[in-house]
Amino acid sequence: MISVVLARSPQPRMVEELPLQLPDGATIAEALAMVGWALSVDGSEDSMWTCGVWGRQANPDTPLRAGDRVELYRSLRVDPKVARRERFVGQGSRNAGLFAQRRPNSKAGY
């Protein structure tokens, strides 16, 4: 028997963790089936969870080892790069990054 932890975040700022005892050679899909967690969020194929072990993406048929933490990830609503660009545009170049703090009587960007 091996001990693993299943973790998922069904909503923002909410995490569910379940410790689980599995037989040797069990896969991620078997662990999820044992606790009743499906890989699809609402039953449709286009809203699937992504699974991983300790932050690294893994397939559902990946065998588990003792001490693994199986994580289910929701898909991102917005690309992080796009969100950062939009925040920067809203703040302006004078209020973000290297230009946020400027020494008195200095040139812009120094």
For the stretch 31-59, pLDDT in tens is 888 888 766 545 444 456 788 899 888 88
Cross-strand pairs, 52: 57, 71
Contact, 6 vs 70, CB < 8 A?
yes
The structure's pTM equals 0.63
Coil, helix or strand at residue 66:
coil
State pLDDT tens for residues 81-97.
988 888 777 666 555 56
Query: CA angle, corner 1, sides to 49 and 69, nearest 5?
Result: 30
Which CATH code fits 2-73? Answer: 3.10.20.30
**For residue 50, what pLDDT is reported?**
82
Structural domain boundaries in the chain: 2-73
